[in-house]
Amino acid sequence: MAGNWLLPAETTSSGRPVLRPGEVESSLQPSVDLVNEEHPNLPILKSGLLVLTTHRLLWLPNPESATSPASAVPLATVTHIFQSKKSIKGMFASPRVRFQVSITPDGKVQERGSKSTVITLVFRGKSDPDSFVGKFWEAWRGRAWEGSVETGEGEPGRVELGDGGGSSSSDTGLALKMPVVGVSGILRKEQEMWESTDKSLQDAFQDLNALMSKAKEMVTLAEKMRQKLLSGSSSQANATNDEEMGSKEEMQDWLLSIGIVSPVTKESAGALYHQQLSRQLADFVKIPLERAGGIMNMIDIYCLFNRARGTELISPDDLLRACSLWDKFNVPVMLKKFESGVMVIQNKSHSDEEVFSRIRSLVQKPDALKTGVSATDAARTLGIAPAMAKEHLLAAESKGFLCRDVSPDGFRFYINIFQDIDPNDAYLVKEYGVYDAWIRAAIASR
């Protein structure tokens, strides 16, 4: 019997599971062992994070002692969940949950396999197995995987649209099925789509409860439309004019920002809430950060993240805690606090030195030598928000590289020429220094 009898599970770089279309997490349990009872010589998956989703049971290894790969048991293969027996022995041992899955003759987990085996979950951490069993039953009986089988089977590869807000890796898969004839075809299809969704939209807005129950549908819908638009634009690129392309891109952006399908919630993650939220956030911010030039204001992230989460909003405090946990994980983003108290999220690769050297070259341009630079000028050159640009300018000032000029014209920064002036002879100008360069630009042009 092969060692990898379970299916492999993919994770993001920050350690969050990659979910299938429509898959939603419902419970997370720390420190869980996964054991095959009938074949004790198979490797035991020890002390990992157990994630129950509507489609699968995922076991993710502990990042500090990663011995086994992340594994998955599709709920479709589960044939029976045993009721846990209360016994005196059970009071002292770690709680266990047992269930039966179908396997192929050579022992691999598979739906409608000819044989079956029993898997035991051992809960070593402080957790509540009873509520877990309840959710397990609920997910198993919900048979959510059946609805998405057709897309799942059509694309055996990775179909990711969950956490990151969707990627374009699966765009071509759907494009083949869509019989699109010209731009009018797309538009007509869209029209039909809108009409059919109009009703569900109306339903959704009847009250909040209804909206929450429709939320998943809405996100699926948005994703479908996004993919349709993408496929449409690729096959009809030569027939569409720029204006239409523009509006499509806008539409895609708009749909992209609609949602995280499976937001981490206090309910599903429990004690692991902030940790999981932190990982999800790290995955989420990658795309917006890239667009914003590697650095973003905390407030902007808060708005984007909550908009993507839809109804499961988080508080600013939770966001802050999630960000502060990044130090502990190996994620490519970091939280930075400026001296003024402004907090930003930036890529680790987005170094201060780089920004600094760009400011350096900016203030040495002839115009900047003459009239200085404002935060707005710097923002334009650096491709970041003015408030952020100002923080960088102030940081450069505190390093003694810039000087400020406060006047009725506003707040501007100049290259620091004081350091280049001889204190014993104020009239002396050293050649080729900053002072010299400034005189050439500012005085000579007078």
Which residues of the chain form contacts with another protein (CB under 8 A)? Answer: 372, 397-398, 400, 403-409, 412, 414, 416-419, 421, 423, 426-427, 429, 435, 438-439, 442-443, 446
C-alpha dihedral (203, 24, 18, 282), degrees to nearest 10: 80
Q: Please say which residue, 2 or 426, places its beta carbon nearer to another protein.
A: 426
Cβ atoms within 10 A of the Cβ of 354, count? 12
For the CB of residue 346, give the shortest distance to another protein in the complex, in Å.
24
Residues 6+ apart with CB under 8 A from 300: 288, 292, 385
Task: Tell me how far apart the alpha carbons of residues 41 and 107 are, in angstroms, rounded to a whole number.
Answer: 13
For the CB of residue 410, give the shortest distance to another protein in the complex, in Å.
11
Q: Please say which residue, 123 or 435, places its beta carbon nearer to another protein.
A: 435
Q: Please say which residue, 182 or 400, places its beta carbon nearer to another protein.
A: 400
Q: Please say which residue, 141 or 365, places its beta carbon nearer to another protein.
A: 365
Secondary structure of residue 312 in the 3-state scheme? coil
For the CB of residue 230, give the shortest distance to another protein in the complex, in Å.
51
Output the six-digit token pair for 424: 């014993």
Backbone angles phi, psi at 238, to 5 degrees: -75, -20
294 contacts 349 by C-beta, under 8 angstroms: yes
For the CB of residue 418, give the shortest distance to another protein in the complex, in Å.
4
Q: Please say which residue, 156 or 341, places its beta carbon nearer to another protein.
A: 341
Q: Please say which residue, 376 or 398, places its beta carbon nearer to another protein.
A: 398
Residue 277 exposed, middle or buried by CB count within 10 Å (0-12, 13-18, 19+): buried
For the CB of residue 373, give the shortest distance to another protein in the complex, in Å.
12
Task: Tell me how far apart the alpha carbons of residues 280 and 308 are, in angstroms, rounded to a whole number.
Answer: 12
For the CB of residue 405, give the shortest distance to another protein in the complex, in Å.
4
Q: Distance from first CA to last CA of the chain, Å, rounded?
A: 87
Q: Please say which residue, 348 or 440, places its beta carbon nearer to another protein.
A: 440
Backbone angles phi, psi at 117, to 5 degrees: -145, 165
For the CB of residue 429, give the shortest distance to another protein in the complex, in Å.
7
Q: How big is the chain, counted in residues?
A: 446
Output the six-digit token pair for 386: 């003015």
For the CB of residue 408, give the shortest distance to another protein in the complex, in Å.
8
Task: Tell me how far apart the alpha carbons of residues 399 and 406 are, in angstroms, rounded to a whole number.
Answer: 19
Q: Please say which residue, 183 or 403, places its beta carbon nearer to another protein.
A: 403
